Amino acid sequence: MYSASDLRKNLKIQIDGEPYVVTDFQFVKPGKGQALYRCKLKNMITGSQFERTFRSVDTFQPADLQDKRMQYLYPEGNKYCFMDMESYEQVYLTEDQVGDALSYMIDNLEVDILFFGDRPLGITLPNFVDLVVTQADPWVKGDTATGDYKPAVLETGYQVQVPPFVVEGEKIRIDTRTGQYVTRVKD
Amino acid sequence: MERLPITVRRKRNLVIRAGIIQAIRLFFTERAFLEVETPIRIPAPAPETHIDAIPSDGWFLQTSPELCMKRMLAAGYDKIFQLSKCFRHRERGSRHLPEFTMLEWYHAGIDYGRLMNECEDLFLFISQFLGAGDTISYQNKTISLEKPWRRLSVSDAFKRYSPMPLDTALADDRFDEIMVSNIEPGMNGDRPVFLFDYPVSLGSLARTKQCDPTVAERFEIYAGGLELANAFSELTDASEQRKRFEKEREYRANLGKIAYPAPDKFLRDLDYMPESAGIALGVDRLVMLYADSETIDEVVAFSPEEL
């Protein structure tokens, strides 16, 4: 159980069975009165926000959140299917829930899916993903003119800047935290 | 309004702060108040449900100089004032610092109504001393300090701004929440406000009204939506004070808070205290008002995090 004095930005709590994240938080206290904590809360499922003032005697449940390691299988309409590698259970995330991760998702990619109870909420990618270059201008050997990066398109449709020596068909490593090229990868 | 970089703003605020403190001293010495300094580290803070003292080597840092200053009233000092640091455990926010500066003054022979007039005079004096005339500009609002300020009773404030009646709020322990969420925003008008006549359960050191023992002669000052000061016609009945302290002790125990030693010498001296009125005013908050600062951090030389 959390008490009001545990409140801080990004804390995840459960109210009426739904998970909320504290997006803003203020300590207020009348001189002779009790400490109060004014919070802005965002519903992690619906995204809706509201404000509530908690008293110092209030307590709340931590949100029942868990990360599960799963494997990306395939898209289905505007949803994306992930499988638990031990139980073979499948869950679907919506395009909204997947968000930017779409740029890096290839078959069988292992990711962490955030669950609230048994409801999937979102996705955490591994720090690096290896993707094949499907389109890039060729490298003319002997072209020493510049070391400038050039645009390339990867197998997921994601566009990224790469060094001039990277060619179509090659696999490269992308840092999912920055979206940038890291190195070439040998299969 | 174009904002100056923070360090330049802080320096400007500290200059204003020094001016305010100078003005405070001038105001009170001109009116024949004696400036006093009472010990910051004391053995027995007043027991209050929601104010916690910071321990100091077996004793405590004062949360207010009230008990010592009332003992001085009992000892024959009729008009005293003090600027001192007070310490309150775990009070940190955009308007709170665990260590802050309090102005307290006590005036024998007057009641809280006369004290309200003294407050109006003090604010005007400070404003004129700073060369700002009779108005303050705070967070894009103009506040006139001209007398008389607005006067609103707690019961009327609840009727006007609260979603529930005062009695229900007290019974459900939601008084403070409603004050902060519903009533304080209404205290942000074009004049400062005296919010007065609190339920007696919320004024353990205050005298009750002769005509109504359920109401304490207590007021607070609000300006620009900021809570600035708390004042009473002081309780001088020692046996009544003992009872009220007992209640506070009980509430503290129910909340699992530590018990302070009983302030026996204060209770003993209370029998000799004349009828008086006294007030505690947050100097940092006052500086925030005159310097148009949104946070208390900007009006002190160092916030705790900067140390």
User: Which of chain B's residues have a Cβ under 8 Å away from the Cβ of A25?
Assistant: none
Q: Is residue B1 part of a domain?
A: no
Q: Is residue B249 part of a domain?
A: yes
B299 CB-side CA count, 13 A: 28
Q: Is residue B250 part of a domain?
A: yes
The enclosing domain of B82 has a CATH number of 3.30.930.10
Q: Which amino acid is at B137?
A: S
Q: Is residue B145 part of a domain?
A: yes
Residues 6+ apart with CB under 8 A from B36: B69, B72, B77, B80, B81, B82
Inter-residue contact A162 to A150 (CB < 8 Å): yes
> How many domains is chain B partitioned into structurally?
1
B227 CB-side CA count, 13 A: 21
The rounded percent of chain B whose pLDDT value lies above 70 is 100
Burial readout B71-93 (b: 16 or more C-beta within 10 A, e: otherwise): bbbbeeeebbbbbbebbbeebbb
pLDDT in tens, B215-268: 999 999 999 999 999 999 999 999 999 999 999 999 999 999 999 999 999 999
Element (H, E) at B220: strand B212-223
Q: Using CA coordinates, name the residue in chain A closest to B170.
A: A33
CA distance B305 to chain A (A): 16
Q: Is residue B243 part of a domain?
A: yes
Q: Inform me whether the C-beta atom of residue A30 falls under 8 Å from chain B C-beta atoms.
A: yes
The rounded percent of chain A whose pLDDT value lies above 70 is 97
Q: Could you give the CA distance from residue B3 to residue B48 in angstroms, rounded to a whole number?
A: 40
Mean pLDDT of chain B: 96
Q: Is residue B26 part of a domain?
A: yes
∠ CA A100-A106-A110 to the nearest 5 degrees? 85
Q: Inform me whether the C-beta atom of residue A36 falls under 8 Å from chain B C-beta atoms.
A: yes
User: Which of chain A's residues have a Cβ under 8 Å away from the Cβ of B181?
Assistant: 38, 53
Q: Could you give the CA distance from residue B118 to residue B101 in angstroms, rounded to a whole number?
A: 20
Burial of B99 (0-12, 13-18, 19+ CB in 10 A): middle
Backbone angles phi, psi at A41, to 5 degrees: -120, 140
Residue A147, pLDDT score: 73
Domain that holds residue B289: 6-306
Inter-residue contact B282 to B91 (CB < 8 Å): no
The residue whose two tokens read 């398109």 is: A153
Residue A8, pLDDT score: 86
Residues 6+ apart with CB under 8 A from B29: B35
Q: Is residue B274 part of a domain?
A: yes
Q: Is residue B275 part of a domain?
A: yes
A26 and B94 in contact by Cβ < 8 A?
A: yes
If you average pLDDT over residues A103-129, what whole number do you get? Answer: 92
Residue A142, pLDDT score: 64
pLDDT in tens, B54-109: 999 999 999 999 999 999 999 999 999 999 999 999 999 999 999 999 999 999 99
Q: What is the DSSP string of B110-140?
A: --HHHHHHHHHHHHHHHHHHTT-TTEEEETT
Global confidence as pTM: 0.81
State both tokens at A187: 């299969």
Q: Could you give the CA distance from residue A104 to residue A158 in angstroms, rounded to a whole number?
A: 7
B202 and A36 in contact by Cβ < 8 A?
A: no
